[in-house]
Amino acid sequence: MGAMVPRGNGQAIRLPRGASLADFADKIDANPGALVQVVFTQLGEMVTATQSCTDETLQLLGVTLGYDVQIVSPEDEDKELLESFDLSFGGEYGDDIELSARPPVVTVMGHVDHGKTKLLDAVRSTDVVGGEAGGITQHIGAYQVRANVDGTERPITFIDTPGHETFTAMRARGAQVTDIVVLVVAADDGVKPQTIEALNHAQAAGVPVVVAVNKVDKEGADPAKVRGQLTEYGLVAEEYGGDTMFVDVSARNRTGIDELLEAVILTADASLDLQAPTGTEAQGVAIEGRLDRGRGPVATVLVQRGTLRVGDSVVAGEAFGRVRAMLDENGAQVAEAGPARPVQVLGFTSVPDAGDNFLVVPEDRVARQIAERRQARERNAELALSRGRPTLESILERMKEGEKTQLNLILKGDVSGSVEALEDALLKIDVGDEVGLRIIDRGVGAITETNVMLASASEAVIIGFNVRPQGKATELADREGVEVRYYSVIYQAIEDIENALKGMLKPVYEEVQLGTAEVREVFRVPRVGNVAGSLVRSGIIRRNTKARLIRDGVVVADNLTVDSLKRFKDDATEVREGYECGIGLGSFNDIKIDDVIETFEQREVPRT
């Protein structure tokens, strides 16, 4: 079993994703070189001692050596990382921690064009939809408004999510931080597939739903029909004896808004006990991140517990920094943010990904170490994933079959949520096994010369979403022949990439029969050969088309060509059904009476 590799008796070994053979060797007190030898001889894989290995390779090696290899999940990995710094994220509140009431966090969901953003405009008395490309929300935003309930002002936090089915990842992530979902359904359009999709997200997250029946002022609006349709999906209106609040609103006329806010507060009071500590270190979720030209990396964060203050050291995913300033949804500076308060944070060294957890740590050094450890861990996992399992057999297979056609992309966007949604949607495009799509790099901010050089080296196309090139990047792209495409609406980018992938597919042809002719007489023509005097039985016989000769139902000759075609003594281009003609099949002369000449052509089948 190689040079002195200790055998196990089923002992459990915990390894992180993308661990190397050197990491494995440390756990069992073995020589890494000996494990390299075992992997090569026993598993047929070529791996160096420090190379990131796939989960499958590590587990197979464990079975071979008698160990139970357990791959640590990303969540457990992160938990162990934080515990090594005496930190923890989330968890139960202790008895000694004082809890205070917090505002509900509301996500607005529903079918595209049913008026979600218009409704939020009415709630916030702003105009967002006018500034969105195509009138479709491309980003996640968070806002806090105040509702007057029984003479008391109550704050509510709204999360605005994109309204198109390809952004499922962003909508689902919105539901993870949400207390209540407002499901918007147009009274004139009724329940649509995306309405059901949004409802499924809400029910999977286990959050109560308030239904806003929008566009009740339009002609043909039928709010009762909406209530009836949603009953099938478990949402029964209070007036029908259920426990779901339905509110008729008109976002355009701004009617029913106060009633909707009151319904949200009443649902929160009835169904949820919304409390969080304010005196602890802040923790929460990064809802959005972008690179601002003047301010640098800016993250929209939602505080879930504790109080975030200017000057705090924070870490969010692989980004870290010190809070230099905090802004509310109106751009005003705030000194601190409590639970369920969304704020824009300035001071990160890089842009956090949408959905990353953030937490306050004791000092900058700890934040930097956590971020660097996370970066290294993610890099190892990605290396293992991209490397796959290069066995001798797979290398031979690739040499034999030839590499399949692949489209490489580099994605750059203005905010991390849009880049993630675009990547998620692009990777779901399926045009068969012949063509592959690979995203080799993604990031937030302008398209740089580094992006162009990477695209040139890997023959990639750069997709810019609401961003433009920086400095001499355009000039370099022209010189290097790199294609850069710009978009402001996500599904236009998806449509273009799908069409490009279909264009890379090899054409598929199908045979289409044109016509058949029955041979009635065979004429011998000097210097030409035999000519078939025929009657066209079906379709059309055309000159210069492919033909085959059939005798007694059996194909006698294939791959023939109609060289000459005559009607009496005149040349003809085509002869239709029911007419007689003379057909010459070039040098092929084995023609007999009662044979059938069938003509056909190859047509390209459009890819679907």
Cβ atoms of residues 246 and 217 within 8 Å:
no
Average the pLDDT over each of 61-75, 108-122, 128-142, 541-555 and give the range with the smallest value.
128-142
160 assigned to a ligand binding site: yes
- Say which residue, 531 or 504, is predicted with more confidence: 531
Contacts of 230 (CB under 8 A, 6+ apart): 185, 191, 199, 211, 236, 237, 244
- Write the pLDDT tens digit of every residue in 416-429: 777 877 888 888 88
Residue 493 has pLDDT above 70, yes or no: yes
139 assigned to a ligand binding site: no
Pairwise CA distance, residues 233 & 266, whole Å: 22
Pairwise CA distance, residues 344 & 334, whole Å: 10
Average the pLDDT over each of 419-423, 425-429, 430-434, 590-594 and give the range with the smallest value.
430-434
298 assigned to a ligand binding site: no
Residue 2 has pLDDT above 50, yes or no: no
Residue 123 has pLDDT above 50, yes or no: yes
Average the pLDDT over each of 69-78, 116-125, 390-399 and give the range with the smallest value.
390-399
Residue 581 has pLDDT above 90, yes or no: yes
Pairwise CA distance, residues 22 & 465, whole Å: 41
- Write the pLDDT tens digit of every residue in 541-569: 999 999 999 998 888 888 899 999 998 88
pTM of the predicted protein model: 0.65
* Amino acid, single-letter form, for residue 502: K
What domains lie within the chain, and their CATH numbers? 12-72 (no CATH), 103-273 (3.40.50.300), 277-379 (2.40.30.10), 393-504 (3.40.50.10050), 508-605 (2.40.30.10)
Beta strands in 278-356 (DSSP E): 283-292, 296-305, 308-309, 313-316, 319-327, 333-334, 336-337, 342-348
Pairwise CA distance, residues 443 & 417, whole Å: 11
pLDDT classification of 438: cutoffs 50, 70, 90: confident
Tell me which DSSP letter residue 398 carries: H
Residue 503 has pLDDT above 60, yes or no: yes
Segment (H or E) for 496: helix 490-504
Average pLDDT of span 106-134: 69
The Cα angle at residue 361 between residues 374 and 156, in degrees rounded to 5: 100
**The pairing of beta strand 296-305 with beta strand 333-334:** unpaired
121 assigned to a ligand binding site: no
At 135 the pLDDT is: 45
At 161 the pLDDT is: 59
Pairwise CA distance, residues 99 & 485, whole Å: 51
162 assigned to a ligand binding site: yes
* Amino acid, single-letter form, for residue 261: L
pLDDT classification of 379: cutoffs 50, 70, 90: confident
Residue with tokens 């917090």: 102
At 165 the pLDDT is: 40
At 1 the pLDDT is: 44
Residue 323 has pLDDT above 90, yes or no: yes
111 assigned to a ligand binding site: yes
116 assigned to a ligand binding site: yes
Phi first, then psi: give them for residue 380, nearest 5 degrees: -65, -45
113 assigned to a ligand binding site: yes
Select from 24, 27, 85, 13 the least CA-distant residue to 53: 24
296 assigned to a ligand binding site: no
110 assigned to a ligand binding site: yes
Residue 139 has pLDDT above 80, yes or no: no
- Write the pLDDT tens digit of every residue in 207-265: 899 999 988 888 878 888 888 888 888 888 888 888 889 999 988 888 888 899 999 99
* Amino acid, single-letter form, for residue 281: E
Select from 161, 205, 155 the least CA-distant residue to 180: 205
Residue 168 has pLDDT above 70, yes or no: no
Pairwise CA distance, residues 31 & 36, whole Å: 9
For the chain, percent of residues with pLDDT exceeding 70: 87
Residue 272 has pLDDT above 90, yes or no: no
At 390 the pLDDT is: 45
At 137 the pLDDT is: 43
Q: What is the mean pLDDT of the chain?
A: 82
List, in sequence order, the alpha helices (H) in 290-405: 364-387, 392-401
Average pLDDT of span 187-192: 84
pLDDT classification of 534: cutoffs 50, 70, 90: very high
At 175 the pLDDT is: 47
pLDDT classification of 576: cutoffs 50, 70, 90: very high
Pairwise CA distance, residues 498 & 418, whole Å: 18
pLDDT classification of 597: cutoffs 50, 70, 90: very high
